[in-house]
Amino acid sequence: MPKIDLTMDVNGRKVVKQTDPHKRLLDFLREDLNLTGTKEGCGAGECGTCSVFVDGKLVKSCLMPAAKADGAKIETIEGLARPGSLTPVQQAFHKTGASQCGYCIPGMVMAATSALRENPDAGIEEIKERLGGNICRCTGYTKIFEAVEIARDVIAGRLPETALDEDATGESFIGANVRRLDAPSKVSGRLKYAADIKMVDMLQMQVLRAPMPHARIVSIDTSEAEAMDGVACVITADDVPGTDGFGVFVHDQPVMARGKVRHFGEAVAAVAAEDLVTARRALAKIKVEYEELPGVYAPEDALKPGAPVIHDYAQDNVIKHIPIRKGDPEKGFAEADLILEDVFTTQQVEHAYLEPEAGIAYVDHDDVVTVLSPSQNITHHRHMLAEILALPINKVRFIMSAVGGGFGGKEDMIYQGMLALAAMKTHRPVQLNFTREESIVASAKRHPSKVHYKMGLKWSGEITAIEFDMLSDGGAYGMSSEGVMRKAAILSCGPYEVKNLKVDTKVVYTNNTPSGAFRTFGGMQAQFATESMMDMAAEALDMDPFELRRINMMRIGSRTHTQQELTTASLDRVLDAAEAASRWEAGAPKVRGPRRGDLGGPDTRQPCTLGARIGEPTVTPTNDERVAS
């Protein structure tokens, strides 16, 4: 396609460049000018990692064609401060620790800078409003808002510049602002994530994904794609030289679909080409013939006799069953004055880290296959990849790039194998950057679960027995499922001493997106069931929910569900602190009437209501604002 000429003032420097007409301002800054402090988190204007100033106005550069910015004055995160220095906003972010994974932070700094330029006296509600187009997943907004308020007051002279210095910490770091060592690299946009790194002669990879959840692959014809100009290679499962299979516990997942696809969006083939557009066009030329198979989409259905089998090795579709037995549940229920039964379900959840999966692979001068990616488990990945590539371990190397948020979602080796194969086939560096849509369709999710719960209690509040039966949807591959079930079982009945219990956690294969590691690793699903049950029990017993928990809590000397004797325990202090901090109204749930007095207090966060800047609802108009009738 014919190029276009663009002229811009970028961070005070005149830039004259030829580029492709389809490029977005984001692409032009990152690819043509190497200004990678501006990130791509979603490409759809939702997240704000790509915020830049265009002629003084903050915009999302993923929503602006580069040609629209022709002739404009552009300011990016790299241009805010002179090299080696930080603006007051950046210093304030450094001070308050407002940079965890750091991927959203350049955009946040830009939005904060814009907010204070637009209104140097913006109150906290207006600051929240003006930062509303930027999403953070791990730092948390509290530190960010605190940073903006400090910066505002320093810029306005209401606070001395020393307010940007590091806080003194006493004996405890808790409750104090603690600087993070790597914050300057994040608030300045200098930290390179995998998608920010370029290598000489590097190819771009794109992945063809399954359009259906369960199908036999009859044939894959890559010849037309391979024949295209600019295509360096096309890879499929046939290119795997060693023992194909990865997973945290069971190695049931091939690098790319092998013989059949087991979930929608599973990788089927991949192209490495000179540029992204060529790779995208080549994907459209790959012909795959599928024979659709009946699928399983509910865990209960996976266990039915005659259910479609998803993996040959597991004819019953069970990935893992973890049973725990303690005491005599039958006797415990016989002793109970009250037996409660209920079902608790939780849904699939996406991690939604701001950094989509990205990586580079290359074969180095010593024939070491090297993969750079934000992997949360590089040593295990290295061992698995050596088997897959049939290489000795010293010929496989993993480099962990800066992780722009993981939460467990980057523990699975879902794309590193493809990168390695393409690098070996071409002997050139190969990069793959997921789109947000691809990240959502292909990465593991939190396990959806269903818990059948039965709890026996005395009128005194003492729990006499619990039956806890969890069925989880593992999706198409095992990934971390076994570990998640173990943790769910261990934590099942909560921090309460239960003498008689019967716990079963089971995870099965379905044709849904695979489930994997996600913060709490099964604990959340179990605690949702247990703590809900405790509140319902308090209601049934006409007892204060805190009181019920104190009666049953684990103490020093208690035996856990897995028979460990505790030598320390802190739940008593935790409950006291939570009760005080929440201004809890003591009493059984029903004594409060229709309105609770302990909700909506001064330190609770109110829902967002926009419009702070419209100000007083009454605008006092001046005569010259009136349009003549």
Instruction: Return residues touching other proteins (CB under 8 A).
Output: 1-2, 4, 21-22, 24, 43-46, 48, 51, 57-60, 62-65, 67-68, 70, 111, 114, 129-130, 132-133, 276-277, 280, 284, 435, 437-438, 441, 607-608, 610-611, 613-614, 617-621, 625-629
Cβ nearer to other proteins, comparing 68 with 325:
68
Exposed, middle or buried, 381 (CB in 10 Å: 0-12/13-18/19+)? buried
For the CB of residue 109, give the shortest distance to other proteins in the complex, in Å: 14
324 close to 506: Cβ distance less than 8 angstroms: no
Cβ nearer to other proteins, comparing 280 with 304:
280
Distance, C-alpha 599 to centroid of its chain? 30
What strand order describes the sheet that includes 4-10? 13-19, 4-10, 73-75, 51-54, 57-60
For the CB of residue 355, give the shortest distance to other proteins in the complex, in Å: 18
Separation between Cα atoms, residue 477 and residue 260, nearest integer Å: 13
Whose CA is closest to 541, among 551, 553, 530? Answer: 551
Contacting residues for 43 by C-beta, under 8 A, at least 6 apart: 26, 62, 435, 436
Cβ nearer to other proteins, comparing 51 with 373:
51
CA max distance for the chain: 87
What are the start-end ranges of the H helices in 62-217? Answer: 88-96, 105-118, 124-130, 141-155, 183-187
Pairing of strands 358-363, 287-292: unpaired
For the CB of residue 363, give the shortest distance to other proteins in the complex, in Å: 29
* 3 state DSSP class of 464: strand
E strand or H helix that includes residue 574: helix 571-581
For the CB of residue 57, give the shortest distance to other proteins in the complex, in Å: 5
Separation between Cα atoms, residue 39 and residue 274, nearest integer Å: 22
Whose CA is closest to 270, among 49, 462, 418, 80? Answer: 418
224 close to 276: Cβ distance less than 8 angstroms: no
Exposed, middle or buried, 32 (CB in 10 Å: 0-12/13-18/19+)? middle
For the CB of residue 520, give the shortest distance to other proteins in the complex, in Å: 24
For the CB of residue 305, give the shortest distance to other proteins in the complex, in Å: 36
Cβ nearer to other proteins, comparing 1 with 174:
1
For the CB of residue 326, give the shortest distance to other proteins in the complex, in Å: 43
Contacting residues for 534 by C-beta, under 8 A, at least 6 apart: 494, 496, 545, 548, 549
The torsion angles phi and psi of 106, rounded to 5 degrees, stand at -55, -45
* 3 state DSSP class of 472: strand
Cα torsion through 416, 420, 422, 428, rounded to 10: 120
Cβ nearer to other proteins, comparing 118 with 226:
118
Cβ nearer to other proteins, comparing 1 with 580:
1
Query: How many CA atoms lie less than 13 Å away from 560 in the CB half-sphere?
Result: 13
Q: Which residue has the tokens 């076994």?
A: 482
Cβ nearer to other proteins, comparing 219 with 620:
620
Q: What CA–CA distances, in Å, run from 100 to 91, 137, 250, 253?
A: 15, 9, 32, 31
Cβ nearer to other proteins, comparing 54 with 318:
54
For the CB of residue 196, give the shortest distance to other proteins in the complex, in Å: 19
Q: Which two tokens stand for residue 617?
A: 């609802």
Cβ nearer to other proteins, comparing 49 with 510:
49
For the CB of residue 334, give the shortest distance to other proteins in the complex, in Å: 48
Cβ nearer to other proteins, comparing 590 with 626:
626
Cβ nearer to other proteins, comparing 276 with 309:
276
Cβ nearer to other proteins, comparing 219 with 609:
609
Cα torsion through 146, 151, 152, 158, rounded to 10: 110
108 close to 134: Cβ distance less than 8 angstroms: yes
Cβ nearer to other proteins, comparing 32 with 531:
32
What are the start-end ranges of the H helices in 443-554? Answer: 481-491, 523-541, 545-552
Cβ nearer to other proteins, comparing 71 with 242:
71
What are the start-end ranges of the H helices in 249-343? Answer: 276-283, 299-302, 329-335
For the CB of residue 628, give the shortest distance to other proteins in the complex, in Å: 7
For the CB of residue 582, give the shortest distance to other proteins in the complex, in Å: 25
For the CB of residue 44, give the shortest distance to other proteins in the complex, in Å: 4
In degrees, rounded to 5, the angle at the alpha carbon of residue 296 between the alpha carbons of residues 293 and 302 is 130
